[in-house]
Amino acid sequence: MELQAVLGIPSTNGDGLSFGDGSPFTTLFVSDRFSTYTRIESTRDYLNFSGGNVGIGESVTFLFLITDSGQNDPFYLLQTPNKIDVVPVPATLALFGLGLAGLAMRRRRA
């Protein structure tokens, strides 16, 4: 699940939204179908429950805390697929740039 102050834009540390950041109640986050959870707050406010399944036609219950010290009105809670934040390595970006430059040079010669 992902918190967003603006729909379609991941929540940042500066918007005041979090999954109970600084609260002693974050250890009480539970689900009746999933055994574990992970909080991601470095790149966005994301809560991932894992270790379980929900079959077709079945339901699931989650208990967690959302805090909003920024008075966001409204804010959004989205169910999103599991995703991994990937930070491009500078060498990868350099190789990509060299490849584009090579393609441009080849096109000029043709």
DSSP label of 82: -
Neighbours of 87 (CB within 10 A): 6
Question: Would residue 97 count as lying in a domain?
Answer: no
Question: Would residue 69 count as lying in a domain?
Answer: yes
| Average pLDDT, rounded, for the chain | 82
Q: What percent of the chain has pLDDT over 70?
A: 84
Residue 110 pLDDT level (bands cut at 50, 70, 90): low
pTM of the model: 0.62
Question: Would residue 66 count as lying in a domain?
Answer: yes
CA 97 to chain centre: 28
Name the domain count of the chain.
1
Residue 61 has what pLDDT?
A: 94
* Cα 74–Cα 25–Cα 4 angle in degrees, nearest 5: 25
Look at residue 8 and tell me whether its pLDDT is greater than 80.
yes
Q: Identity (one letter) of the amino acid at 78?
A: L
Task: Work out the average pLDDT over 40-49.
Answer: 83
Question: Would residue 107 count as lying in a domain?
Answer: no
Question: Would residue 93 count as lying in a domain?
Answer: no
Domain of residue 51 covers 2-83
Cα-based distances in Å from 90 to 94, 101, 102: 6, 17, 18
